[in-house]
Amino acid sequence: MPEPQGSVIRWIAVRAFSFIALSLLVACDGDLNQDDGAMASLNAGTAANAAAASSVEAVAADARPAAKPEATIPAAMLGRWTGLADDCADAAAPMELRVENDRLLFHESEGRVTAITSRADGSTLVDAAFTGEGQSWTRRLTLILQDGGRRLRIEGGGDGVTRKRCPA
């Protein structure tokens, strides 16, 4: 899947550097054959453009989330979950959630795990890069097993919801 943020940065960089090169050409009155200094300036500008574009690529690459987390979601939290009032047989329930080792599959979005932190109280912090409905975002969630593993509470952004475990 293309990465829109990196593509936009590259597009802006290419347009900006093209404008600089064109400006240098206009400043030379278009007579590059008679003025070696103008040609040297244009070549220097092109080299600077290439270096800057390379720098933009490096920054965009550094901003990407890690492909694989160092750890996985605890096994006790894996499986199918749904809202407390939902029927587990309804796979289209709005509260449907599938927790896998490295991703969270909600009804209309998917979160790829980028980092996991186990906490002393038994909860787990999960950082994930989400996509859904044509958008992308990141979020940190706290996963808390309750009721002997029959319920999973997920908190994040000041709110939380509790789901019940469904048979696989």
Predicted confidence at residue 91, as pLDDT, reads 85
Question: What is the predicted pLDDT for the residue at 31?
Answer: 42
- Given this model, what pLDDT does residue 158 score? 85
Task: Round to whole Å and give the CA distance between 55 and 42.
Answer: 20
Predicted local confidence at residue 33, as pLDDT: 42
* Segments of the chain with pLDDT less than 50: 1-67, 69
pTM: 0.58
Q: Report how far apart, in Å, the C-alpha atoms of 33 and of each of 19, 40, 44, 102 are.
A: 21, 11, 16, 60
Give the pLDDT score at 121.
Answer: 94
Long-range contacts for 40-49 (Cβ within 8 Å, ≥24 apart)?
45/20, 45/21, 46/21, 48/17, 48/20, 49/17, 49/18, 49/20, 49/21
Quickly count: other Cβ atoms within 10 Å of residue 45's Cβ.
17
Tens of pLDDT, residue by residue over 75-121, are: 999 999 999 999 999 988 999 999 999 999 998 999 999 999 999 99
SS3 category, 48: helix
Q: What is the pLDDT of residue 70?
A: 57
Q: What share of the chain is helix, strand, coil (3-state, %, to 5)?
A: 35, 35, 35
Q: What is the pLDDT of residue 131?
A: 97
